[in-house]
Chain A
Amino acid sequence: MIDNPKTGMTLIVKTITRLTIGLILLFGIYIIFHGHLSPGGGFAGGVIVALSFVHMMLAFGKDVAVTKISKNLASNLESIGALMFLSVALLGFLGGTFFMNVLAKGTPFRLFSAGTILLSNISIGIKVGVGLFAIFLALVVLERAKKEE
């Protein structure tokens, strides 16, 4: 399905996409995981992760992208992201208040040094990444419904 010349864009775009898509995804994950140390965080990293999937959809067509993340998986993951964020916030009640940091803080300026901020960033990244992809998927499906009429 990937090498079908009838779907998606030209061979040049497909080859470049195949080379760069993993790097874009990895950069998004890096931004999410370093949200408490450098600029960025859950939202910005999630947008970059979503853009890698949008990139795949633009280059190879809708069907290939749906094989990676289907519509049901996207909506389920989006709900899981929101529930993860809520559970991280509710975990604070173990220490006393809402959003209280209950994990060990570690040494500053290390990757695992900020307690529950990293978990919050990861859940926001999942939510935003999959949600943005789902918005784009919905727009493409709308387009497809128009052509079939």
Chain B
Amino acid sequence: MTLYLLCLALFCVGLYGVLRKRNLVKIIVGLGIMEYAMNLFFVLLGYRFHGRAPIEAQDQNILNMVDPLPQALVLTSIVIGLGVTALVISIAIRIYEKYGTFDITKIKRLKG
């Protein structure tokens, strides 16, 4: 239970970064932290204490494995996160190109 609460704390750190920071780069870093907190939570749900990685090994009889399903899901989630991060960074670069600043309070005017 403590581990899940720590995951929630990490998620809240990312949420704070997204909601309170004014620099676009810091908002993107906050998004990344939220994403990794979610990934950590999913992996922890499938974790079993004293469990081994779910991989067949030679000449060994593995009795206690962690759950491989959340790990496969998280791998997909990491790939999607990579695409989202690349998209957001390219949008941020475009915004900087147009307005000359990363500060979201200064990006007010609609410029054609």
Range class of the A interface residue count: 10 to 19
Chain B stretch 57-107: residues in CB contact (< 8 A) with chain A:
58, 75, 79, 82, 86, 89-90, 93-94, 96-97
Instruction: Say which residue of B58, B89, B96 sits within 8 Å of A146 (CB atoms).
Output: B96
Closest chain-A Cβ to B100's Cβ sits at a distance in Å of 10
Does A86 reach chain B (CB closer than 8 Å)? no
A39–B93 contact, CB under 8 A?
no
A139–B93 contact, CB under 8 A?
yes
Instruction: Say which residue of B53, B79, B89 sits within 8 Å of A139 (CB atoms).
Output: B89
Closest chain-A Cβ to B67's Cβ sits at a distance in Å of 15
Q: How many chain B residues have a CB neighbour from A under 8 Å?
A: 14
Known: A43-B79, A109-B58. A138 touches B90 (CB 8 A): yes
A142–B53 contact, CB under 8 A?
no
B90–A142 contact, CB under 8 A?
yes
Instruction: Say which residue of B55, B79, B90 sits within 8 Å of A38 (CB atoms).
Output: B55
Does A3 reach chain B (CB closer than 8 Å)? no
Q: Roughly how many angstroms separate A67 CA and B21 CA in the complex, as a whole number?
A: 40
Shortest Cβ distance from A47 into B: residue: B82
Chain A residues proximal to chain B, CB less than 8 Å? 38-39, 43, 108-109, 132, 135, 138-139, 142-143, 145-146, 149
The 3 A-B residue pairs with the shortest CB-CB distance in the complex, in nearest-first order = A109-B58, A146-B97, A135-B86
With contacts A142-B93, A146-B97 known, what are 6 further pairs, Cβ within 8 A? A38-B55, A43-B79, A109-B56, A109-B58, A139-B86, A145-B97
